[in-house]
């Protein structure tokens, strides 16, 4: 082996060697999935955000919120990404717990509901603190893991799906036909948002749902479905309701190719930057911002306050342990002010106002 290496040193570099080297460099630079930023203080707990990926605007903003909070308290900050892989998500969290010896605050958006249990159990065993968001099994409760499982935060899709439908109907003048684009059929937020739409439809008999299609949160699919609708229903379409902003923006593009962008109101949900800009341009009628910046920062802040003894989770009421957060409804009326204070400028949040956006205990 050694002889081979020596031999190869005497030989001129071949194309194949360069390729091997390039592959090695590539592999090394791709390998670290743990993106860590070192802070200053060492005795502070390490702050960890575990999210799906940095490739979608939602989680990218989430990560920025986490960074901002970590900076405000001078703690080490680590981002873990699951890339949609539950096993990776759980084992990365176990690794960081081992590395920090349990002196850790974890704010996690579990890849799938069942993942929450092993995560919570691992944190409890090591004496760290954890806040979960969106996904957890219905029978896993923070109060069963006092004080380490601090809180679970979610958002109910029903009232916001309904609010968007109402904003859409208002923009249509209260009557006409709509088409609706849903998310993945078995996905809880998609089901809840659709339920909100159904409620609004039941209350507005002058609005007719022409068709509902599932576009699986995909822009491409939404574009194709909208195109087919334009053939099928033509001018009957008075408005388009979409279960998220990506699909809503794709519907706007389908309308644009048909020369009707801005004439048919479209609503989305999530509050991404391009959607807010589309509202400002008059091409969308509304969206709901979950404020992932708040989720990324405040999830950590709640855990941090518990870890540093500012409050005792065991003494908090249940609606502080499992609660719905508050979304921001954005329509043409407030789009400009939302844009100025949340998108153009880095949002300024009071990280100590930990229960400021509680809007009720989660119902199962």
Near other proteins by CB under 8 A: residue from 72, 85, 187, 273 = 273
Measured from the CB atom, the residue of 10 and 29 that comes closer to other proteins is: 29
**Biggest CA-to-CA distance, the chain:** 84
> 180 pairs with which residues across the strands?
212, 241
Q: Name the pairing type of β-strands 328-331 and 286-289.
A: antiparallel
Counting contacts by CB under 8 A, is residue 35 touching other proteins? no
Near other proteins by CB under 8 A: residue from 8, 185, 263, 336 = 185
Other beta carbons less than 10 A from residue 164's beta carbon: 28
Near other proteins by CB under 8 A: residue from 34, 191, 195, 274 = 274
Q: Token digits for 194?
A: 């659709």
DSSP assignment letter at 339: I
- Distance of closest approach, residue 218 Cβ to other proteins, in angstroms: 6
Stretch of 111-119, 188-196, 197-205, 272-280 contacting other proteins, by CB under 8 A: 272-280
Taking the mean position of all CA atoms in its chain, how far away is CA 333?
Answer: 25
- Distance of closest approach, residue 57 Cβ to other proteins, in angstroms: 5
Measure the CA–CA gap between 40 and 25, rounded to whole angstroms.
Answer: 30
Residue-by-residue DSSP string for 104-129: EEEEE--SSGGGHHHHHHHHHHHT-E
Counting contacts by CB under 8 A, is residue 219 touching other proteins? yes
Size of the site for other proteins (CB under 8 A): 46
> 242 pairs with which residues across the strands?
181
Counting contacts by CB under 8 A, is residue 187 touching other proteins? no
Closest among 35, 89, 81, 76 to 58, alpha carbons compared: 81
Closest among 68, 52, 113 to 296, alpha carbons compared: 68
Stretch of 39-47, 151-159, 229-237, 262-270 contacting other proteins, by CB under 8 A: 229-237
Measured from the CB atom, the residue of 253 and 319 that comes closer to other proteins is: 253
Identify the burial level of 167 via C-beta atoms within 10 angstroms of its C-beta, where 0-12 means exposed, 13-18 middle and 19 or more buried.
buried
Counting contacts by CB under 8 A, is residue 188 touching other proteins? no
- Distance of closest approach, residue 6 Cβ to other proteins, in angstroms: 23
Counting contacts by CB under 8 A, is residue 284 touching other proteins? no
Near other proteins by CB under 8 A: residue from 169, 229, 290, 351 = 229
Near other proteins by CB under 8 A: residue from 159, 161, 176, 246 = 246
Stretch of 103-111, 155-163, 188-196, 220-228 contacting other proteins, by CB under 8 A: 220-228
Residue-by-residue DSSP string for 194-208: HHHHHHHHHH-TTEE
Identify the burial level of 262 via C-beta atoms within 10 angstroms of its C-beta, where 0-12 means exposed, 13-18 middle and 19 or more buried.
middle
Counting contacts by CB under 8 A, is residue 55 touching other proteins? yes
Measured from the CB atom, the residue of 6 and 31 that comes closer to other proteins is: 31
Counting contacts by CB under 8 A, is residue 213 touching other proteins? yes
- Positive or negative torsion for Cα 98, 100, 105, 110: negative
Counting contacts by CB under 8 A, is residue 56 touching other proteins? yes
Binding region for other proteins (CB under 8 A): 15-16, 19-20, 23, 26, 30, 53-57, 59-60, 182, 185, 211-214, 216, 218-221, 223-225, 227-232, 234, 246, 249-250, 253, 256-258, 272-274, 277
């Amino acid at each position: 082996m050694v002889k081979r290496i020596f031999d190869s040193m005497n030989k001129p570099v071949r194309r194949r060697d360069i390729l091997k080297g390039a592959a090695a460099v590539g592999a090394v630079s791709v390998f670290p999935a743990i993106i860590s930023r070192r802070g200053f203080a060492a005795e502070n707990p390490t702050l960890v955000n575990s999210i799906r990926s940095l490739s979608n605007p939602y989680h990218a903003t989430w990560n920025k919120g986490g960074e901002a909070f970590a900076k405000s308290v001078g703690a080490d900050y680590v981002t873990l990404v699951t890339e949609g892989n539950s096993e990776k998500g759980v084992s990365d969290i176990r690794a960081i717990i081992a590395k920090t010896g349990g002196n850790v605050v974890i704010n996690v958006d579990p890849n799938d509901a069942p993942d929450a249990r092993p995560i919570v159990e691992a944190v409890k065993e090591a004496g760290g603190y954890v806040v979960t968001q969106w996904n957890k099994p219905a029978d896993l409760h923070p109060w069963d893991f006092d004080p380490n499982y601090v809180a679970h935060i979610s958002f109910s899709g029903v009232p916001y799906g309904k609010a968007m439908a109402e904003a859409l109907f208002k923009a249509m003048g209260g009557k006409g036909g709509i088409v609706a684009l849903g998310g993945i059929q078995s996905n809880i937020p998609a089901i809840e948002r659709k339920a909100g739409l159904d409620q609004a439809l039941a209350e507005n008999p002058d609005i007719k749902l022409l068709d509902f299609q599932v576009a699986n949160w995909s822009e491409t699919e939404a574009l194709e479905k909208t195109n087919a609708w334009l053939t099928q229903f033509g001018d009957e379409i008075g408005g388009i309701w979409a279960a998220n902003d990506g699909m809503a923006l794709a519907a706007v593009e389908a309308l644009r190719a048909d020369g009707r962008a801005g004439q048919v109101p479209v609503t989305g949900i999530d509050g991404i930057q391009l959607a807010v800009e589309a509202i400002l341009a008059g091409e969308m009628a509304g969206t709901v911002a979950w404020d992932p910046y708040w989720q990324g920062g405040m999830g950590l802040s709640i855990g941090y306050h518990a870890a540093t003894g500012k409050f005792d989770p065991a003494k908090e009421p249940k609606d502080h342990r499992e609660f719905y957060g508050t979304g921001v409804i954005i329509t043409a009326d407030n789009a400009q002010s939302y844009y100025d204070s949340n998108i153009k400028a880095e949002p300024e949040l009071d990280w100590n106002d930990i229960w400021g956006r509680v809007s009720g205990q989660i119902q199962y």
